Structure 1
């Protein structure tokens, strides 16, 4: 076994040791998820999922690094604050590690951090990282690109525009998927809601409330809606019965939805507006 192979094997062993030591910590973090607010819980859940996939990454190729070696990965175009956190959760902290990504590892990392399919390759993270690792072009750098292969300013502009169009489409598609998931979740919650004396939802009726706009909630993540002046215990039960469990859902109501909710739970006309539920809710979630 030559020196390079020994280094690769050592990196794999250190990564395996780190994951073994981290398993208990991950279980402890999972056990505390319910103590977090909805937004923090969503972020922490994502980081836990990513961290669990670190065992599938070949650190023999990437090399082993720790938080003490950390580079500012956001210098790579396409890496934002949360993506950087995901990369760190995966065990990737340095430009050097990213610069060593093979095509297969680019796909594995892309999938592990739950990024848009193919984004790591399209944004050329590995090439960007190589330039950051060796900006001057040392003896191990790649040979210069032949002049005829260098795109003209117009070609570069077209290429950048094409990349931007792809990003916009990915964002639009992701938003549409999220909206669809919200609609399906809302329909599922409404189908499970029990009939109450005050609110009777006949089987097969379609809810007039657009949960794609206000978001969805569940009994498990229910807020204390009585913190809003004008909502008592009885009104809170009515709101829960039609799928409204969270203060953020009330904060997202527009005029049309406020009127629908007002009618659905049998309040007097304009009651939600007069009591300023939406304004109160927005203040509570600041």
Structure 2
């Protein structure tokens, strides 16, 4: 799948049917649009392309990262992706490209708003089975592993750190997760999503994942963190010792979850 940035880059699109939406969270309405556009592209023997309207990702209503959206578009069979900062209202000016033979545009009516609201509500409730049904795949967040302050390592719980600047909205707390991309099989882990109020003031949203198996250095690698169950809300503790004790309880709860799942 080829990714293009900006309207001018759209001149490089081959003959195609173009699906237009924000593709934020990849809910059922997105899949319907892509299925319709894909069927028309196959009937014409041309490519399937998607115009991703990006502004929603800079707001609190974002349901996922751009990387996760691109992964969903790839699974849907999209051949080319054009990413634009334009709004939905301005999309009509973007689709007048030489090789765009047909446009399938999302109409953000009641069904669309309902699907978006269902995503937001399911994330807030940590209803991961519902999210899987809405999105058509497990709820996960992917990103590059970045360097942190190594506080987890100092407490005996080394973590993989992923920045969470633009969503998903409503994701906050301590979760049982599994990590994809570091081994042939998913790795059991416990994750914290939040601003680390015990050790930071005005901290940037961060996803910290403690993998409960030994892993080699993975800085710079792209991993996918699949969310399975919420354990508790993010809390501010009275010092590092209290935080460490809470993490120990969280890790024990996560181990019990995986043991029960395997039984």
Which TM-score bucket, shorter chain as reference? under 0.3
Q: Larger helix proportion, structure 1 or 2? A: 1
TM-score by length of 2: 0.25
Q: Larger strand proportion, structure 1 or 2? A: 2
Q: For the pair shown, which has the larger CA radius of gyration, 1 or 2?
A: 1
User: Comparing both chains, which one has the higher relative contact order based on Cα–Cα distances under 8 Å and sequence gaps of 6 or more?
Assistant: 2
TM-score by length of 1: 0.24
